A and B are shown apart, each in its own frame.
Chain A
Amino acid sequence: MVQFGRIRGNLRGERQADGTSMKAPAVDYVRARSLAEAVDLLAEHRGEARVIAGGQSLVAMMNLRVASPGLLIDISRLPELSSASDDGDAVTVGACVTHAAIEDGRGADPSRGLMARVAATLAYRAIRTRGTIGGSLALSDPAAEWPAVMTALDAEVMVCGPGGRRSIRCSELTTGIFETKLAADEIIESVHIPKLSADARWGYLKLCRKSGEFANALAVAVVDPTRGHSRVVLGAANGAPLVLDNTSRLVSEGGRGDISGAVAIDLDRAANRHFDEFQRNLHAVATTRAVRQVLQ
């Protein structure tokens, strides 16, 4: 499992450094000429290497010296990772498609506007022009947007490793804070997103005090009656995106009933996330409001 350590702990709130680190440590760099080459290099360097796409998280971590890879393998310019294709009932978005490309609606959109809306709230434009959806999923910052949204859309990632390709459901990809099911020598190649039907509805709410900062609370609700898919997901949830089963069921049944009650049951079941009272309340409010957007 790839783990970048308690970067959030080091970037936000619990920084215990002596505060003198703002320049990256020494590192080697290679630009991969193909995805296969990138995979080989990762395997060869056995945990000392990291792929770099947009670098918006990785370089920040290196500047703060909370990450010191020995080798950076640049995959940002591999054309096979930067395109999006319409596959009929799904869209495959290359791992290196940027948040800005999604924001601008370049390429096919499987999400009836949800992804563009989400992308527009992600950090700042200058970050979005370089940061990638694959990078976001691979890092799985607990407060990031894409892991929660891709879980809500029931997407899956196509992953390339020395043993070949495999797919991982996004709802299972993230296993903890900065922890995923990716092996150290695996690279996300693309995200395969089922298209929402014409009668699908979505709700999205990101709560934060300052535009562009990491979410204090993040809720995504998707209901697609034609496909029988309904999912309400909480991000910024101290770990992997939290699927709220009870609330999802209520929404799929048309939302008649006590939404706050359903949310409360789901949050009670998430006691291992250790939300304090304020956080729990915020998650409850975000979820309720996202659900209301869907039910309007």
Chain B
Amino acid sequence: MPDDRYGVGASLLRREDDRHLHGRGQFVADVKLPGTMDIAFVRSPHAHARIRSITVPPEARGRVFTAADLPRVKPIRVVSHSTGAKSPPWPPLATDKVRYVGEAIAACIAPSRGEAEDLANAVSVDFEILDAVIDAPRDMRGSRHPMHEHWGDNLYIEHMLQGGDIDAAARAADVVVTREFRMQRQSGAPLECRGVLAYRDYRLDEVVVFASTQTPHTVRVALAEILDIEERCIRVVAPDVGGGFGPKARLYPEEIILAALALELDHPVRWIEDRSEHLLTTAHTRDHHYKVTAYADRQGLILGVDAEIVVDAGAYGLWPQGPYHEAGMVARALPGPYTIPHYRAKHSTVATNKTPLGPYRGVGRPGACFVIERLIDEIARAIGHEPNEVRLLNLVRPEQMPFTTIGGMRLDSGDYAQSVRLCAELLDMPAIRARQQRSEPDSRLIGIGFATFAEQTAHGAAEFAARGASIIPGFESCTARILTDGSVVLMVGIQSHGQGLETALSQVAAEELGIDPARISVRHGDTESTAFGFGTFASRSMVMSGGAVARASRMLRDKLCRIGAHLLQCDVAEVRCVDGLVSGPQGSVTIAEIAKVAHLRMDGLPQGVDPLLDATATYEPAISTGVYSYATHGAVVAVDPETGFVELLDYAVAEDCGTMVNPMLVEGQIRGGVVQGIGTALFEEIPYDEAGQPLAGTLADYLMPGAAEMPAIKIGHLHTPTPHTEYGMKGMGEGGAVAPPAAIANAVRDALSSIGAEVNETPITPRRVLTAIKKARGPKA
């Protein structure tokens, strides 16, 4: 429910809503410039092929651009400082070879997209088809036609993470559980696909690139380097962005090509991705293979975990971070928030002839959570205990904090066990267990499953340096400005694409300045009008950008107090800045009055105080290893053992993200994340055939969660403010998507416990459920 207060902690209603409720949002495709021409790409129909020739019909000359026509465009190249990392150059338009279905070969320009597609269909490309590398575990050491010449194998990177003595754990174990797990490839699939609009601004001597991106500033850095022009001559604008979730936090070839074309041509150029193109070319996600063994004693105490992790990372690395972080992230997160003493994880990231892999809500954590939480359930079954008992036995306890897990996660604060109990309470676990004793009228089987995890958020220098990143998103910035009428502008480097940061950040400024958020504008997404920042991803924005807003606001508050005290002729220690006023013992002055003095009547300023009310601050949390949110999720399912269909009857989240700036927004992020996680768990998949053809080309194949299949999602909160950030807040945007695959797989396992069937693969489709049931039942008598 909305709150009357408007500072930190208020469920302030969003200012973003008004424009969207009236259809007045401005997404890239909504930006209209006279003379704009539309672009369609000729894309590879083959997964792996050499390009022998490209034939452009004569009437299309000048309207079709290949790599040869844009010599200024350099390949994308991710730089990783991790040992042994191999980084392939990625020409934005293919030169001699194509390495995934959908790779761009030529840009075709026409007055409308339909005509541009006509043109693309008229271009013919002669290919020499090569064998496709599509099985990551099988092909990682080499293939007949390797992904990238001179590599010697198909590995981007391979590392081992270990701690303790896993062999000792194996020897001491009473219980040994070994399983293979699989997360199938999927898409982040925001509702707005990507899009780019680029044009020359001759007055400002800039090429302007509108892009549906989560990271406008770093896109500018990349464009400058790749096109060899100065950054001051590039402006990148992320206007309204219709969902990002990670895949839009990377640089794409289309952004480079469109900017290059804008520099070549004297009219604006536009490319709006369609859904099929999106499913083909925007970063794919997940696609993990696991072989894992857990060792435990007969009480269920986990002694050690031994894991082999393979990430199928596709054909190229997406700038800036490439595919180098995902497998390592899985390895670090796999021991979960548990006090497991011995661990070994070998992780391999493989290049394949598929769409490049990118980050998507949770990144490596959903896979890691899937593995460890399923193993916990199997350990529990092996010793005849409730899975939550095994969880509680192994979870880090509050008095052990800060605790660095064997995976290297430094958990800073929280009561993880309490989240398990609260979640079970939200789902009324005793009632579910009682229900399971009776049979259902429709003969379906009821199950309940849980998953607990820690979510690393707002991590900075230490974490990214450890990952070998060449770009360290370790801070955010804010320029806060009070204008002469006392209204406020916050210019920030993050980019809000649905999270409500225009509202939440104004609450932080309101908290510090005592100014109503209704008088505060938040500018984000435009390199022209914002301070440098890295963008919105990795559950960082509220902590990092909120921290920067707080610091900048305090700088302004201090200056307001100094000027106000001077105007009130009292000591600065005697004034307070509250409710739009600076008030002292003998009266008060409005912020607007102070602002006028600071700009229009600088003769009224005290000695030593400069004009303007303008402050720029950066912020990073006190520790850069991340502050950890955590949660336990629980799912109740009904499984139809005849059809394999799984229905979600109930879902609950018991979470702790420290101080919530806007509880309403936090719950919105949780629910949105959970439904995406349910998509991963039950619906979403892009299979590839033997020839490297992706088999989900439209939303008729690629099933996205709809309202009819979703339960209402219950949420309970714990509050453990972290000591390391402003107000004690932690990031939490991704957490909702981390646990659903594990919780649901555990619920299905529970439902099928009388049969003994397990599904250790996502999505848990009816086919996979029936296959598991059949396997568990064994050959028919």
**Chain A residues with a Cβ under 8 A of chain B:** 10-26, 64-65, 207, 209-214, 216, 278, 281-282, 285
| B528 contacts the other chain (CB 8 A) | no
> Contacts of A26 on B, CB cut-off 8 Å?
114, 118
Expressed in whole angstroms, the Cα–Cα distance for A17 and B693 within the complex equals 9
Pick from A16, A19, A211, A282: contact of B709, CB under 8 Å: A211
Specify the main secondary structure of chain A where it touches its partner. loop
Q: Which residue of B lies closest to A216 (CB)?
A: B766
Given A18-B42, A18-B43, A20-B43, CB of A210 within 8 Å of CB of B703: yes
Least CB distance, A9 to chain B, in whole angstroms: 11
Least CB distance, B375 to chain A, in whole angstroms: 27
| B102 contacts the other chain (CB 8 A) | yes
Given A211-B708, A212-B706, CB of A22 within 8 Å of CB of B767: no
Number of residues on chain B facing chain A (CB within 8 A): 47
Beyond the given A19-B102, A23-B117, A25-B117, please list 18 additional residue pairs across the A-B interface where CB-CB is below 8 A.
Answer: A11-B697, A12-B700, A12-B701, A17-B45, A17-B697, A18-B42, A18-B45, A19-B279, A20-B40, A20-B43, A20-B274, A65-B117, A209-B683, A209-B766, A211-B708, A213-B703, A281-B770, A285-B642
> Contacts of B662 on A, CB cut-off 8 Å?
none
Expressed in whole angstroms, the Cα–Cα distance for A19 and B44 within the complex equals 9
Expressed in whole angstroms, the Cα–Cα distance for A216 and B765 within the complex equals 12
Flag if B697 contacts A15 (CB, 8 Å): yes
> Contacts of A212 on B, CB cut-off 8 Å?
706, 708
Expressed in whole angstroms, the Cα–Cα distance for A21 and B121 within the complex equals 9
Q: In this complex, which of B44, B112, B120, B643 has the most chain A Cβ atoms within 10 angstroms of its Cβ?
A: B643
Expressed in whole angstroms, the Cα–Cα distance for A276 and B696 within the complex equals 20
> Contacts of B321 on A, CB cut-off 8 Å?
none
Least CB distance, A165 to chain B, in whole angstroms: 35
Flag if A13 contacts B276 (CB, 8 Å): no
**Chain B residues with a Cβ under 8 A of chain A:** 40-45, 101-102, 112-114, 117-118, 120-121, 274-277, 279-281, 642-645, 682-683, 693-698, 700-701, 703-706, 708-709, 765-767, 770-771
> Contacts of A21 on B, CB cut-off 8 Å?
117, 274, 276
Pick from B40, B41, B281, B695: contact of A14, CB under 8 Å: B695
Expressed in whole angstroms, the Cα–Cα distance for A25 and B110 within the complex equals 14
Q: How many A-B residue pairs have CB under 8 A?
A: 108
Expressed in whole angstroms, the Cα–Cα distance for A148 and B161 within the complex equals 58
> Contacts of A282 on B, CB cut-off 8 Å?
643, 766
Flag if B277 contacts A20 (CB, 8 Å): yes
Flag if B708 contacts A19 (CB, 8 Å): no
> Contacts of A18 on B, CB cut-off 8 Å?
42-45, 101-102
> Contacts of B117 on A, CB cut-off 8 Å?
20-23, 25, 65
Flag if A20 contacts B42 (CB, 8 Å): yes
Expressed in whole angstroms, the Cα–Cα distance for A83 and B539 within the complex equals 57
Q: Which 9 A-B pairs have the closest CB atoms?
A: A15-B697, A22-B274, A23-B114, A211-B708, A19-B280, A18-B43, A19-B276, A18-B45, A285-B642
Q: Which residue of A lies closest to B695 (CB)?
A: A13
A-B contact pairs, 23 of them (CB 8 A): A11-B697, A11-B700, A11-B701, A15-B276, A15-B695, A15-B697, A15-B698, A17-B45, A18-B45, A19-B277, A19-B279, A19-B281, A20-B40, A22-B276, A25-B117, A64-B276, A209-B766, A210-B709, A211-B709, A212-B708, A213-B700, A216-B766, A278-B644
> Contacts of B281 on A, CB cut-off 8 Å?
19
> Contacts of B118 on A, CB cut-off 8 Å?
25-26
Least CB distance, B105 to chain A, in whole angstroms: 9
> Contacts of B708 on A, CB cut-off 8 Å?
210-212
